[in-house]
Amino acid sequence: MLYIRGNHKDYDNWEAQGAKGWSFKDVLPYFLKMEDNRDPAYLANGYHAVGGPVTVERPEYKAEMSDPIYEAAQNEGYDILDSNAARQTGFDVLQATLRNGQRCSTSKAYLVPAENRTNLDIIPEAYVRKVLIQNKKAVGVQFDFQNATYEVKAGKEVIISAGATKTPQILMLSGIGPKEHLQEFGIPVVADLPVGNNFQDHCGTLTPYELDPEIPTTTEKIQNPQNIIEYIDSRTGPLASASFLSIMAFLKAQLVSPSVDYPDHEIYFLEAPIEYPEQQVGYKREIFEAYYGPYMNSSLFLCMSQHLRPKSRGTVRLNSSNPYDAPAIDPNYFQDPDDIRPIIDGMKTCQRIATSKPMEKVEAKPFKTVFPGCEQFYGNEDSYFTCIARAAVVTIYHPVGTAKMGDPRDPTTVVDHHLRVKGIKGLRVVDASVMPTITSGNTNVPTIMIAEKAADIIKETIECSSYEYSRYGSGDSSYGSSDSSYGSGDSSYGSGSDES
């Protein structure tokens, strides 16, 4: 939901690694193309646009702690800025993919307006088994639907957009991946490529703080009938927030020159129910109760600190040759010891802001409880925060990189700069898995940009042709019997006349 593009240098680095045509100047037009920004203050700086499918707004809600946090940040010397414009380093004025107080998802922005097009068939709840490949060419996809297996034949290309964990699984089940790994499961090797390598994710740590008891808890705000009525009537109030996120900031270690605009960590200030940390971290019950138990009925906020450019690399691998078995994901957090340092820097900034003079207005206080297992480090801020960060790491759900884009001569890449899978004709990947390196911020908007740019790349190289549907294992070219057709008669499978 957060509208964050990342840093200009992220994309310049992509191009430097061999992703020709993916520098910031090349991708900015696609960020603008997607955007319908409804805030005149942003439009004035030249980095935003109107008329695109994805609506961008400021949330129609301000938490009690928001103004004191901004005041504290300015007292610390930080800029308050639009992180999607010329510079990123500083405290951001929140932008989100919202439309009239509701999430503007990619489904709402792209799929719903196109769902009745005659050249588009949508199969809800279909499950892809593998890509069909003949003579090094992708010729279709095999999938399950309503207890039957089908094949859809592609006239030109197959495009995989299943995300950074499922895309590598589909590729490997199709025979595209590390040779020795595929052979473990008896999968014939079609292309020996480093699929599933280069896994990257943002991870971080949640630090809790107590607030003025007169401030309602997040649960109380969610359940308050007046807030519900306000949201229904005007799409404003707490329920119109960006998931109760109040403020975020993109920061860097103090040893980095102030002139360098390349933050290495991000912090978020968010209101949250007391259950949220338990759900995100997966605490053992006794640890959660020891740390959070005394505050079960308190009003609180959390400060999340995450690194932005991890050096560690994980993997996605098959657990079996069964497409219904989830892949084995090893994020390999902190494989490189440098990755924890930005998180600690962010936790220290959280502490300075939370204990600052302006935050006395909302009676912000650190928890008095000591994190279990870290007692011996209490009193030494660096050591104590390091202990917590290692013990209570959380994913930010930003997996990328497992079908790396770049120079096709580079042995670490899976797709070229046109998103074509190396060594296989008619097969592309269009999702976050192609990112060579993770962007400096949330990955939703960069992934939309990739898809927008991919559309132009594909249009430059192919023309769409018809698709043929057949039931797997039968000679019948129709998509099942008449009672299993999807939708009305003019959109049922087997027509074969619609362009895709």
Q: Which residues are annotated binding-site positions for FAD?
A: 128
Residue ranges for the known binding site are: 128
Alpha carbon of residue 131 to chain centroid: 25
Largest CA distance in the chain: 76
Helices assigned H by DSSP within 143-223: 163-173, 179-184, 218-223
417 an active-site residue?
Answer: no
Contact 4, 426 (CB under 8 A): no
Give the separation between CA 470 and CA 139, rounded to whole angstroms.
13
Length of the chain as a residue count:
500
Helices assigned H by DSSP within 103-186: 106, 112-114, 163-173, 179-184
- Candidates 8, 48, 202, 398; catalytic one: 398
Helix (H) or strand (E) run with residue 228 in it: helix 225-234
Give the separation between CA 402 and CA 197, rounded to whole angstroms.
5
Q: In terms of Cα–Cα distance, which of 268, 271, 269 is closest to 300?
A: 271
Give the separation between CA 154 and CA 139, rounded to whole angstroms.
5
Amino acid code (one letter) for 200: Q
Helix (H) or strand (E) run with residue 301 in it: strand 300-307
Contact 480, 148 (CB under 8 A): yes
Q: State the pairing for strand pair 54-56/191-192.
A: unpaired
DSSP state of 488: S
Catalytic residue IDs: 398
